[in-house]
Amino acid sequence: MLDTLVRRVLDGDAVSVTEFGRLQAVHTPARRARNPQTGERVLVPAGRRIVFRPGTAFTAMARGERPSLRPGAAPCARVRRARNAQPASRDHK
C-alpha cells in the first residue's frame, strides 16, 4: 500500500486517506538563499517537496477533542478485518 501511495505522490497526484490526511507533491521555484556559514549568496534550484495536510478526524484526536484510537482498532468504520481473517502474526522472522 505504501509503495502505491509513494508512486502516486511522486507522479504528481494528490493522495487522500480518509480521516488521516492528504499527501501532495508541490513544485518549489528556484530562489536565492544565503549560506549561513559564509554569508555567500547561492542559487537554490527548483524542485519538489511533499506536503501533508492532516484530516479533520486526525486533527481532532491530536487536540484531544476526539478520543484517540485504541491499539488494534480500525481507524474508520470502512476499514474492518475480514470476518474469517486470522490476526497478523507478531513473529517477523
pTM for this model (two decimals): 0.55
Cβ–Cβ under 8 Å, residues 55 and 22: yes
Cβ–Cβ under 8 Å, residues 37 and 13: no
Q: CA torsion, points 24, 25, 30, 36, in degrees to nearest 10?
A: 80
**Tens digits of pLDDT across the chain (93 residues):** 889 888 999 898 899 888 889 999 999 999 999 999 999 999 999 999 999 999 998 899 888 888 876 666 655 544 444 444 444 444 443
From residue 76, give the alpha-carbon distance in Å to each of 21, 68, 87, 90, 92: 13, 12, 18, 23, 27
Residues for the chain: how many in total? 93
